[in-house]
Chains A and B, each alone.
Chain A
Amino acid sequence: AQSVTQLGSHVSVSEGALVLLRCNYSSSVPPYLFWYVQYPNQGLQLLLKYTSAATLVKGINGFEAEFKKSETSFHLTKPSAHMSDAAEYFCAVSDNRDDKIIFGKGTRLHILP
């Protein structure tokens, strides 16, 4: 069975500071990994996805994530936080056999002025 664990249900960073949201996965097959963002009362927007190509994946809004097989991690980073980055972020995993996406519990990112 696949699963993801997001460390920290809430993360606060100052505007302009580095954003780091942690995600570890568990999968018996090579995984496909995703980061989604959800703004209040809205659906999900795909930030980026890893599909066994380059281990460093660049996404939208300046976010990127690095797949590290040895650490079973897929942490999300952004060099400089903006106020507009405040949202809920979900890490997710899929094995592509049936395309079921398993979501982590989410991390709420707070941006401090």
Chain B
Amino acid sequence: EAQVTQNPRYLITVTGKKLTVTCSQNMNHEYMSWYRQDPGLGLRQIYYSMNVEVTDKGDVPEGYKVSRKEKRNFPLILESPSPNQTSLYFCASSLGTSGYEQFFGPGTRLTVL
């Protein structure tokens, strides 16, 4: 089944404790991205990647890192999480951007205390 998977689905952590949210897709997609969703603000793009070893900042990259060492995986790294990073995170992938459907993962709900 074609899908985007994220782990963990739920995470409660404390300020400053490094964490990684994994994202994997099995569709051989070149484009992957991370979004965060906050009440009243809709979805905002954090980082995206056009292909292996190619990443770029989205609209809200501060406090996040990503890597794209393999085509299928695109982990989101929070080196020192803060409470303002409490949010719902979605990973997405697609063949490309303009004319291609994006497939979204189920979401990761992160709480930073």
- Bound pair (A, B): no
A residues neighboring B (CB under 8 Å)? none
B residues neighboring A (CB under 8 Å)? none
